[in-house]
């Protein structure tokens, strides 16, 4: 079946450091890919998405490129802030409600 694998956390960075959170997926067909973010005590929020190969999703300084050849959708940010501390989830979707698959999440802590 479909699956999403994220780098294990927790990840701890200093403010203004470069961030990469790795995400790879296994799926047949052509899934859409998402990054969701969960701030402490809250539900998940959509951060960015890409619907086809080579698409780049971006939002709030975060970027991720849909790489079909490496089945990856790595999340990057050039300069993290303390306010970026959260849990980040990679997910893939193939259209139906039962076909939205989440990774296990990566905890990011940014220190001042």
Give residues in contact with another protein (CB under 8 A). Answer: 4, 32, 36, 41-46, 49, 89, 93, 95-100, 102-105
67: β partners: 72
Residue (85 or 93) nearer to another protein, CB? 93
Residue (43 or 112) nearer to another protein, CB? 43
CB of 79: closest distance to another protein in angstroms? 26
CB of 104: closest distance to another protein in angstroms? 4
Contact between 75 and 89 under an 8 Å Cβ cutoff? The reply is no
């Amino acid at each position: 079946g479909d699956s999403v694998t994220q780098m294990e956390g927790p990840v701890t960075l200093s403010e203004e450091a470069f961030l990469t959170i790795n995400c790879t997926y296994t799926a047949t067909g052509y899934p859409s890919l998402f990054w969701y973010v969960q701030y402490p005590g809250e539900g998940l929020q959509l951060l960015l998405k890409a619907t086809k190969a080579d698409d780049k999703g971006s939002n709030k300084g975060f970027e991720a490129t849909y790489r079909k050849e490496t089945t990856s959708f790595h999340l990057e940010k050039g300069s993290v802030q303390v306010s970026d501390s959260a849990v980040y989830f990679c997910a893939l979707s193939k259209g139906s409600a039962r076909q939205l698959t989440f990774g296990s999440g990566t905890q990011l802590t940014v220190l001042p």
